């Protein structure tokens, strides 16, 4: 398991954002992903998600299954 | 004070990344910014920084003074 950060721009409201995050959590185990934290800017619709996962592809598959692909998913082996 | 996330793509090594973060920390107080956490993918050079700050502009000014402007700085009033 490694740590990943993804981000995407989705023109959604705060409520839709939390629903999207719940949709991720509902299926994350099926790809061995654990979303640890999410941050969002509802004014621009930008979402950041920090996860522990076997691969960036697994993270993206969960987002895709939940209906909202990330623009980018990056491994973040370095953290302060 | 609010919370902000910024990200940028910089083609730098792991060592340069940590030096860049130290450069931020060295001057953050001058704009009332506190960098809480940073994550980086040295393979793509992508850096994410979470901060508490008075404004997105203050975050950007610190990055600029430290020599590495962020591509985007977003307030993240929503977090899980």
Q: Which residues 38-67 on chain A approach chain B with CB closer than 8 angstroms?
A: 38-44, 46, 48, 50
Q: What is the pLDDT of residues B9-58, one digit of tens each?
A: 776 777 887 888 899 999 999 999 999 999 988 888 889 999 999 999 99
Q: What is the pLDDT of residues A14-69, one digit of tens each?
A: 788 888 889 999 999 999 999 999 998 888 888 999 999 999 999 999 999 998 89
**C-beta atoms of A37 and B74 within 8 A:** no
Is residue B11 situated within a structural domain? yes
Interface test with A, best of B34, B35, B41 (most A CBs within 10 A): B41
Please indicate if any CB of chain B lies within 8 Å of the CB of A33: no
Is residue A80 situated within a structural domain? no
Neighbouring C-alpha atoms within 13 Å toward the C-beta of A30: 12
End-to-end CA distance of chain B: 18
CATH number at residue A54: 3.30.70.3090
Sheet hosting strand A46-53, strand order edge to edge? A72-75, A2-9, A46-53, A34-41, B78-79
The domain of A23 spans 2-75
Is residue A55 situated within a structural domain? yes
Q: Are B77 and B24 in contact (CB under 8 A)?
A: no
| Chain A residue with Cα closest to B74 | A41
Judged by DSSP in three states, A41 sits in strand
Q: Are B76 and B6 in contact (CB under 8 A)?
A: no
Is residue A16 situated within a structural domain? yes
Instruction: From residue B9, give the alpha-carbon distance in Å to each of A42, A48, B12, B46, B69.
Output: 23, 15, 9, 4, 10
| Chain A residue with Cα closest to B3 | A39
Please indicate if any CB of chain A lies within 8 Å of the CB of B72: yes
Q: Measured between beta carbons, which residues in chain A are less than 8 angstroms from residue B80?
A: 18, 21, 35, 37-39
Number of structural domains in chain A: 1
Is residue B80 situated within a structural domain? no
Predicted ipTM?
0.86
């Amino acid at each position: 398991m490694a740590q990943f950060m993804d981000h995407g721009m989705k023109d959604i409201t705060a409520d839709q954002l939390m629903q999207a995050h719940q949709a991720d959590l509902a299926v994350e185990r099926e790809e061995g992903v654990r979303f640890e934290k999410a941050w969002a800017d509802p004014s621009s619709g930008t979402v950041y998600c920090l996860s522990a996962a076997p691969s960036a592809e697994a993270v993206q598959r969960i987002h895709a299954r939940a209906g909202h692909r990330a623009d980018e998913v990056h491994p973040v082996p370095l953290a302060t």
